[in-house]
Amino acid sequence: MKDFLLIIRRFVPPYKKYMVLNVVFNILSAILNLFSFALIIPILNILFKIDKEEYTFMPWAFDPASWESWKELPLVLKNNFFWYVGDLIQTHGGSTTLIVLGLFLVVATFLKVSTMYLAFFTMIPIRTGVVRDIRNQINRKITQLPLGFFSEERKGDILARVSGDVNEIEASVMSSLDMLFKNPILISIYLIGMIAISWQLTLFVFILLPFAGYVMGQVGKKLKRQSLEGQQQWGGLMSQIEETLGGLRIIKAFNAEKKIQERFEKANEQFRQTITRVYRRQQMAHPMSEFLGTATIAIVLWYGGSLILSDHSPIDASTFIYYLVIFYSIINPAKDLSKAAYAIQKGVASMTRIDKILLAQTNIHDPASPKPIRLEKSICYNDVWFKYQNDYVLKGINLEIPKGKTVALVGQSGSGKSTLVDLLPRFYDVSKGSITIDGTDIRDARLYDLRALMGNVNQEAILFNDSFFNNIAFGVDNATQEQVEEAARIANAHDFIMATEHGYQTNIGDRGGKLSGGQRQRISIARAILKNPPILILDEATSALDTESERLVQEALENLMRNRTTIVIAHRLSTIRNADEICVMHEGEIVERGRHEELLALDGYYKRLCDMQSF
């Protein structure tokens, strides 16, 4: 329950006005319910002619400041009510009195169900709003977290948290809010009524209830542990599906369908067994509370009956029946409360997994007093060291990139080229050393200002399931049709875009799936052209293309690189012959640097790389 209250404190405050209204309507509903039950006593007295007591009207002046006045209130109300009923019987007869009491019962019930509906009505904005807020917070956090967080997490598991775990919170925690705001109020008011009728019977009930609560609590603890395990297994299943969808071509090419099926089915069976145990334990709530409630009523019936049969009973038979009706009315709220407790345990388990995202810390921050940053002279890597975990992948890098020049990074896979480039927009921060732009450490500038200086074209063109126009204008506010078309023309993309059914408004599919590799890359280049950044990062932008596509993309890249400071990562050395400087990287260090002809003359790493490609 402590974890649940923590969730409430985190997410419910924006909806406190609805919560206050919900509490008010629940209190009114409970009070009206109590008074409608009270009509049972005179009805029973009339039907069975068991009330022989004579009542006289008690005049009464209520003083809110007087405790004695409050103490007398229940006695005066009861006395005057029975006096009125007795007077009604004498003047109009028992049959007419039953009709009047019946009308009172109908009116009281109408008011009770109306306030009950209003309580549900005010709960709906809380339930839907909190779930919306959680989803928004997760999405916001995902966009803010550094890339390093996602390299350690499975994409499918993150998707499972955003979908399955949030849905579990909605189904369990949020759907239990109305139970938790309503049922304690009902139980409290009913208990006050029971104490007012017979404190001896109510004390006896209080002795029995802790035992039932202990039994329910023990089952609930185990449910939370199993629910957390089940949600983790569900995340694993989602990861497998995501991997299967992404690698379907390879799975079929290697005839690995059966292996993938068996792996999934094994994990799916483990999830089924776990969730079966969860559901069995969850479904135990209703029969267990029903049994414990019935057993308690039987014991109370025995004890109350013994009091009535004694010579000096504090309550009469009709009042005892009213007491039993109130006590039985507590059973349903208590059962709902126990069901809510079980459901909350599942929801809290899901919240634990979601909090792994929401409470994750980022080590990439804006400085307290950011400095302006712009490129007028050069970018400098100053004795830069970097490691992801234990071993350094960059070791003492010193590199100056003058404004308007093109620097190429070459080397075998794993030599540190992409890592070196990722440090510039602060996807990661350097472990030692610094990177400066015109003498300003990039860590002293706002992330937004720093990244606004840069445009990226990667080996895999990252496109979105949207139109050509929106993909090219991505990240540029208020781009016009003419600006987008001009960028597409420079990137050699305008002609094939116009050949599609709806031109620039044509949807390109998931990740640009309706386009060829060369077309996707030219859209990516057009996006960078429209941004018009002073610094350009090209990460193996042509390595996955055929010769014809490479020619068109290379021409587009040359248009893009003109008069820009450019860092190029390339495997195809033919694409960087004209670079102002080529840096050869090996095991995290720059081992050679110079122009193409100079490096060939050195007869070192670069010469060997060129010979391997020629071969």
Band of the pLDDT at 50, cuts 50, 70, 90? low
426: left (phi over 0), alpha (psi -120 to 50) or beta: left
Tell me, yes or no, whether 301 lies in a domain. Answer: yes
Q: Residues 32, 162: one domain?
A: yes
Helix 285-309 × helix 257-283 angle, to 10°: 10
- The pLDDT, as a whole number, for residue 347 is 73
pTM of the model: 0.67
Residue 44: the pLDDT is 66
Q: Please name the helix (run of DSSP H) or strand (run of DSSP E) that holds residue 411, with its range, or none.
A: strand 406-411
In DSSP terms, 437 is beta-bridged to 379, 440
Domain presence at residue 365: no
Identify the burial level of 184 via C-beta atoms within 10 angstroms of its C-beta, where 0-12 means exposed, 13-18 middle and 19 or more buried: middle
The answer to the question of residue 89 being in a domain is: yes
Look at 13-27, 383-397, 572-586 and tell me which has the smallest mean pLDDT: 572-586
Count other C-beta atoms under 10 Å from residue 480's C-beta: 9
Q: Which of 129-138, 214-223, 596-605 has the lowest mean pLDDT?
A: 214-223
Measured over the CA atoms of residue 49, residue 53, residue 54 and residue 58, the dihedral's sign is negative
344 and 205 housed in the same domain: yes
Residue-level length of the chain? 615
Distance from chain centroid for Cα 269: 26
- One domain for residues 319 and 409: no
Confidence (pLDDT) at 615: 46
Say if residues 353 and 228 touch (Cβ distance below 8 Å): yes
Query: What does the alpha-carbon distance between residue 538 and residue 532 come to, in Å, rounded to a whole number?
Result: 14
* Residues 252 and 201 grouped into a single domain: yes
Query: What are φ and ψ of residue 413, in 5° steps?
Result: -60, 135
The CATH number covering residue 571 comes to: 3.40.50.300
Task: Provide CB contacts within 8 A for 394, sequence distance 6+.
Answer: 384, 385, 386, 387, 416, 419, 420, 423, 588
User: Are residues 325 and 395 part of one domain?
Assistant: no
Secondary structure E strands in 325-441: 378-387, 392-402, 406-411, 432-437, 440-441
335 and 461, same domain (yes or no): no
Domain end: 358, 392, 423, which one?
Answer: 358
| Statement to judge: residues 396 and 293 lie in one domain | no
Encoded tokens for 452: 């606004």
Nearest Cα neighbor of 208 from 294, 268, 278 is: 294
Average pLDDT over residues 525-548: 75
Higher pLDDT, 240 or 242: 240
Q: What is the rounded distance in angstroms from the CA atom of residue 224 to the CA atom of residue 278?
A: 9
Is residue 386 over pLDDT 80?
A: yes
CA–CA dist 135, 117 (Å, integer): 28
Using pLDDT thresholds of 50, 70 and 90, give the confidence band for residue 383.
very high
Identify the sign of the CA torsion 96, 99, 103, 104: positive
Q: Are residues 418 and 494 in the same domain?
A: yes
Per-residue tokens: 33: 């319910």
Indicate which CATH number applies to the domain containing 283.
Answer: 1.20.1560.10
pLDDT-derived band at 151 (thresholds 50, 70, 90) equals low
In a domain, 371, yes or no: no
480 and 343 in a common domain: no
Token pair of 537 as six digits: 């990062």
Among 323, 358, 393, the domain-final residue is: 358
pLDDT at residue 461 tops 90:
no
Q: How far is the C-alpha of 200 from the C-alpha of 489, rounded, in Å?
A: 90
Between 317-358 and 285-309, two packed helices, what is the crossing angle to 10 degrees? 150
Question: Which residue range(s) make up the domain with 406?
Answer: 378-614
State the DSSP H helix or E strand holding residue 186, giving kind and residue range, or none if neither.
helix 175-197
Mean of pLDDT values over 434-439: 91
Do 221 and 249 lie in a common domain? yes
Q: How far is it, in rounded angstroms, from Cα 584 to Cα 595?
A: 11
pLDDT over 70 percentage in the chain: 79
Which residue, 328, 358, 388, sits at the end of a domain? 358
CB of 340 within 8 A of CB of 179?
yes
- Lowest mean pLDDT: which of 155-159, 401-405, 443-447? 155-159
Pair 413, 343 in one domain: no
Q: Using pLDDT thresholds of 50, 70 and 90, give the confidence band for residue 537.
A: confident
Q: Which two tokens stand for residue 423?
A: 């440090």
Domain count, the chain: 2
In one-letter notation, the amino acid at residue 25 is F
What pLDDT does residue 455 have? 84
- Using a 10 angstrom Cβ sphere, with 0-12 exposed, 13-18 middle and 19 or more buried, the burial of residue 25 is buried
The mean pLDDT of the chain is 78
Say whether both 196 and 126 belong to one domain.
Answer: yes
Mean pLDDT of 146-163: 71
Using CB atoms within 10 Å of the CB of residue 518, give its burial: 0 to 12 exposed, 13 to 18 middle, 19+ buried: buried
Examine residue 404 and state whether it is found in any structural domain, yes or no.
yes
Q: How far apart are CA 436 and CA 455, in angstroms?
A: 18
Asked if residue 372 belongs to a domain, the reply is no
- Token representation of residue 394: 């960059």
Q: Tell me, what's the pLDDT at 512?
A: 78
Which pLDDT band, with edges at 50, 70 and 90, does 477 fall under? confident
Residue 385 has pLDDT above 90, yes or no: yes
pLDDT value at 436 more than 90: yes
Q: Is residue 369 part of a domain?
A: no
Mean pLDDT along residues 597-609? 85
